[in-house]
Structure 1
């Protein structure tokens, strides 16, 4: 396998429009992600089964509104969930309303009454993704490898047909110090009653003493009810 090329934003937009998976940067402390307009493309880029569940990237307001109509969350919890996605930049497991019809494009991110959502809206990246209201996303790694923290790591990991976007080509980005620690995003589960669970540790919770301490921080910061952590 040869390393995939680092491309500018225009060429990466063309690849997305052509149905190909691309590797996109995030600001620290998050690693890169692989995204595409079809879940199959994301999974094949990661060298894993084509039908494996993926997260839906709710970066587009129209997509977000449709998704939140399908969630089993009251208005206050829905507002907190939006903030968790856009401000905290966690990946969120959110409950779906029973018997609520789902759009076809949400099905690949739904399983057993829950949907997996990624909602980061990094301003320099929005011009690249905004023309695709429905995108699927996963951490930028091939099976058996850690998520890519740099463009060079992504180039070495992915094949030529999965282009890597160089963050230096994005207007408004600033060079980060060499060696900035990065990790895949933390995954949090939000229950219909407002209780929280830490589904998978990651970049956001790793500086806290433990899962309970991080979840306490989220409850305070986002106005969620007090209570013990749930699975």
Structure 2
């Protein structure tokens, strides 16, 4: 059996200093995401989404970022899923990117809202046909008897909509508006670099270093 307590890695690829980082966290994120894509690491667009339900029980899952700008971080999902139900009850959430090969983590916190119907329609129309059918076929997060339920649903909706399935009313986009960012760069001896950006009362970003 593997001794998990003995697993060790020394982080020595890079550093993150106040002088070398951007004053605007969105620009810092754009730089790191671009570098992750350029490094051709597996799924650099994958991010963990954490939500909390009405009983304060947290849950996480991996989703894919589909856009980012001054208005926030965008992804798309089923509104009836567990995450959708939790966001309807508690719109505060957290995102995390973990780019293992670059020894980097980005954590983002803020309030989530749905994107406009027009934005959801536009993105849905850009998806491959099987993904559009899949949005209809899967009652996401619900218990189903077997995989054959999904296959049967996909065949039924495929026959119904052919090449032009519309966006389901229960499917669309979310956008998290950050009020806190943290950039983590692994360093030797576990003395990691952590820079946090938080909004002050004037809606200006304050950059500060956190102890690892």
Normalised by the size of structure 2, how large is the TM-score? Answer: 0.26
Q: Which has the higher contact order (CA 8 A, sep 6+)?
A: 1
Structure (1/2) with the larger strand percentage? 2
TM-score, with normalisation over the residues of structure 1? 0.25
